[in-house]
Amino acid sequence: MSGESRPRGRRLLTMFVLALSAAGTWAYLSYTDRPPPPPGVNDVTQADAQQESTLVDQEDLRIMQTRATLASAVSRGGPAATAARVPHISSSANGRTLVLPQRREPYRVADLERLGMEEFQKQKDGSYLLGINVFLGPGAKLVLQNATGPLVIRMRSEPGAFVSIVGFGASIRVNGSAQNPVRFTSWDPHARTADTKVADGRAYIRAVGGELRMSHAIVQDLGFWSGRTGGLALTGSDRPALTTQPAVNPVLAQRAVLMPDGTLAPGGGSDDQVEVTDGAGHAKAVYQLPEANLVTGVITDTKIDGNAYGVFITASNETQITNVHVTGSLVHGVLLHRFARNASIENTTVIGSRGDGFVLSRGTQNVTITGSTAEHNGGNGFTLNGLPLAQGPSASGESLRAFGGSSVISSVARDNARYGVEIQGGVKLAVQTSEVVGGEMGIVVSKDATKVQVSGNRLSGQRSQGISLRDQVRGAQISGNIVNGAQTAIYLRDSDATISGNTVQSASLHAISLLGAADGTKITGNTLGGAGRSALDTKRALGTVQVAQNNTHGWENTAGFWTTVKRIAKPMNLIWAGVLALVVISALRALGGDGPRIGRKIVNPYENQRPMAERPVRQLSGRG
């Protein structure tokens, strides 16, 4: 090869390898690049986080001290009990509290004005400024309603100080009207505006046990950091109530219950009691289990804007939320936390939360969401989490069973940043007759969910997959859905389901795609339309898959140039292609002599060698 042709060949080879490398990089990025996740719902500095967390601890301590002081005074009797049974102001390192103990008549606005004195006074504009914490003891009742005109309560909330209204085993009732709703808002008296900064704490309303009933109200800019201080919170009592009555049934059940002091005691004579005995086996006391201290509530015809959590509910029974409009929550819109059960949410809208719209977290059970809308939220529209509270032995001995029975029915998830509906684990969770528009994916089911039902829904405009089942979902029913415009309409990965009677329109990759273990999956009676690689992608599935009576006449298989490139041009394929190309080029360069080597005839390398002359054996051996 000439001196000029050798460098030219090296340059051509280098350019070829660089082109392969660039193509491999492009292919890798095309398979791994995804839109960045939405901003975190708790994007705060470490210092702010520590400050807010400390303020929550201080609030918990203040409430427990107030409750304990009231209970202790009543139990001692005498003058202390008499003083405790009338409204009074309690002071501690964590603030001043107006304590309202139980009485026959409910407390009203006039009582707050009289008892709070300068801490609850009517302003020139007709509103009231609440400058002291309000605590309702067990059995107390507070009724806030319009008397002659609008009722506006501005709750003091400024740097270094904020107030709250907390009922402990009490009844809080807010009775507004359509014309004159009762309005609550945080208020900075110096800035003369609502408090929109949460780093230094913010005013909130909370019912601990007992009940909260709110109708025709407006709640604005309340709450910070935790669910219980999140703005408008209904939380069960976190401690069983101690009674001194002996157990009704002395025969103890074979179970253990975690006591308030951290010890384990055997179960008592009924489902909500536990008996504690002395060393001789005699009954000392009976603890009522938390079942007896669940909170309940009804919130109707209410607007909530700018809270940390729009509504937070935990350890509740038969709570109802109807005709509620939640906007601009800093975390989630409506969150039902552990042990919230038998709740109903109807005709409720959540818009613009930084987190999810509606959340049913682990431990919730038999919650129905009907006719509700989640729109433009930073996470999911609806999240249903039925996972167990523990995966194995735990310090608190949590149950290993999954939760379920909850559903989203005839609701709408529109243009949420992540998914329309996400189901994680659980048993017999359902999404039915709902509409899901936009989002990365439409309805996503994962993490060992069992017997999930996704039926009669209409999905459109998802960027990736319409309905996705993955990570050991078992026994799912996917039926009667219409999926329009997703890349892959129905996707299963390591899961099994019965997929029947669905209609797929304008899918651009696959109508139905199965990947991994899918034994027992049935695909029947679906109408599949679109244009992409395949209508039924089952070649990558493992196990027995039944496919029958599906209509694919509306499907067009396409394999255009870029589709083929993306299918073939994967990083490892390109690397091996480069290796093979190097071998071929090296072989071609090895052909021929000094001239151009490509196309030269292959010759015998020994053809120019002269054969050895033949000599007699005797001569070679040296014998005469």
Find all residues with CB under 8 Å of 351, minimum gap 6, and list them: 325, 326, 327, 328, 333, 357, 373, 374, 375, 376, 377
CA 584/CA 595 separation, integer angstroms: 19
Instruction: Give the pLDDT of residue 78.
Output: 81
Instruction: Give the pLDDT of residue 83.
Output: 80
Looking at domain 52-236+295-331, its CATH architecture is 3 Solenoid (2.160)
Exposed/middle/buried for residue 332 (C-beta within 10 Å: 0-12, 13-18, 19+): buried
- The more confidently predicted of residues 490 and 69 is 490
Q: List pLDDT tens digits, range 453-481.
A: 999 999 999 999 999 999 999 999 999 99
Domain residue extents for the chain: 1-33+569-624, 52-236+295-331, 242-291
**Which alpha helices (H) appear in 496-604, and where do they start and end?**
561-568, 571-589
Q: Is the pLDDT of residue 116 over 60?
A: yes
Q: Is the pLDDT of residue 49 over 70?
A: yes
Stretch 314-330: mean pLDDT? 96
Find all residues with CB under 8 Å of 137, minimum gap 6, and list them: 67, 70, 99, 100, 101, 102, 168, 169, 170
Q: What is the mean pLDDT of the chain?
A: 82
Find all residues with CB under 8 Å of 375, minimum gap 6, and list them: 349, 350, 351, 352, 357, 381, 412, 413, 414, 415, 416
Angle at 85 between CA 82 and CA 87, to 5 degrees: 120
User: Of the given ranges (25-29, 75-79, 436-440, 470-474), which has the lowest mean pLDDT?
Assistant: 25-29
CA 32/CA 78 separation, integer angstroms: 73
Strands 242-243 and 283-288: antiparallel
Exposed/middle/buried for residue 33 (C-beta within 10 Å: 0-12, 13-18, 19+): exposed
Q: How far is CA 106 from the centre of its chain?
A: 39
Both structure tokens of 353: 């939360």
Q: Is the pLDDT of residue 370 over 90?
A: yes
Stretch 304-320: mean pLDDT? 96
Both structure tokens of 213: 């009933």
Instruction: Give the pLDDT of residue 392.
Output: 78
Q: List pLDDT tens digits, range 537-588.
A: 999 999 999 999 999 999 999 855 555 555 566 677 778 778 888 887 777 7
The model's confidence at residue 451, banded by pLDDT at 50, 70 and 90, is very high
The answer to whether 407 and 385 have CB atoms below 8 angstroms apart is: no
Predicted model pTM: 0.78
CA 456/CA 432 separation, integer angstroms: 6
DSSP 412: E
Both structure tokens of 467: 């309905």
Element containing residue 624 per DSSP (H, E) = none
CA 326/CA 312 separation, integer angstroms: 12
CA 444/CA 426 separation, integer angstroms: 13
The model's confidence at residue 590, banded by pLDDT at 50, 70 and 90, is low
Find all residues with CB under 8 Å of 253, minimum gap 6, and list them: 266, 267, 268, 269
